[in-house]
Chains A and B, each alone.
Chain A
Amino acid sequence: DIQMTQSPSSLSASVGDRVTITCRASQSISSYLNWYQQKPGKAPKLLIYAASSLQSGVPPRFSGSGSGTDFTLIISSLQPEDFATYYCQQSYRTPWTFGQGTKVEIK
């Protein structure tokens, strides 16, 4: 199975901050990397697909980059509604696997 490792596991940030979350795959996954946001008690929501494509309806302050094994999710200016847990997920090969999550908390 392809292992996905996110860092950090959690972070504290303020409204307006630039936030960077990284995700590393245990082998090359080309650009088959997606990012999801999950709020407590809710289903995950797709933010970014194919490493860098913004899902329809997602604010442009979210962006993704990377290919191969190293990927990044950036929130350019953190908003109150962005406090949540973020997961990367590879869809290169089954079983699809997720990172362990990065919890973004209010500083």
Chain B
Amino acid sequence: QVQLVQSGAEVKKPGASVKVSCKASGYTFTRYYMHWVRQAPGQGLEWMGTINPKGGSISYAQRFQDRVSMTRDTSTSTVYMELSSLRSEDTAVYYCAREPTTVTILDYWGQGTLVTVSS
């Protein structure tokens, strides 16, 4: 069965960076794009960007363009999202989610990773 398993919660200080991982299993890793979506406490969902695990091409939301980096390791079927220059407003749950090739949806989601930014 398809599973996306994310790394554990993180606490970071303002100005630091965080790297969240998302390990995929149960399907062919390189056939599905992976997206990152975040949710601040009590707030809605915000799309951050996407990576094509096959070639590594990426597309980021403009507001994160200069602070986010999405990478993948095909040998371990893992994607990573690194966010730098953290500020308190980046406190959120970060989700990875899979996009099938045939339709533009997010059909499987990771369990979420809480990143807390606090001095």
Q: Enumerate chain A interface residues (CB-CB to B < 8 A).
A: 32, 34, 36, 38, 43-46, 49-50, 55, 87, 89, 91, 94-101
Contacts and interface: CB of A to CB of B under 8 A. Distances in A.
B85 to A, nearest CB: 20
Interface of B: 35, 37, 44-47, 49-50, 59, 61-62, 95, 97, 103-107, 109-112
A34 B105 contact: yes
B73 to A, nearest CB: 22
B92 to A, nearest CB: 13
Contact of A94 (B46, B59, B106): B59
B35, B62, B103, B111, most chain A CB atoms within 10 A? B103
Nearest to A91: B104
Nearest to B105: A49
A87 B47 contact: no
Contact of B61 (A45, A95, A99): A95
A105 to B, nearest CB: 15
Contact of B109 (A34, A43, A49, A55): A43
A95 B62 contact: yes
A26 to B, nearest CB: 15
A1 to B, nearest CB: 8
A43 B112 contact: yes
Given A43-B109, A43-B110, A43-B112, A87 B45 contact: yes
Contacts of B45: 36, 38, 44, 87, 89, 98, 101
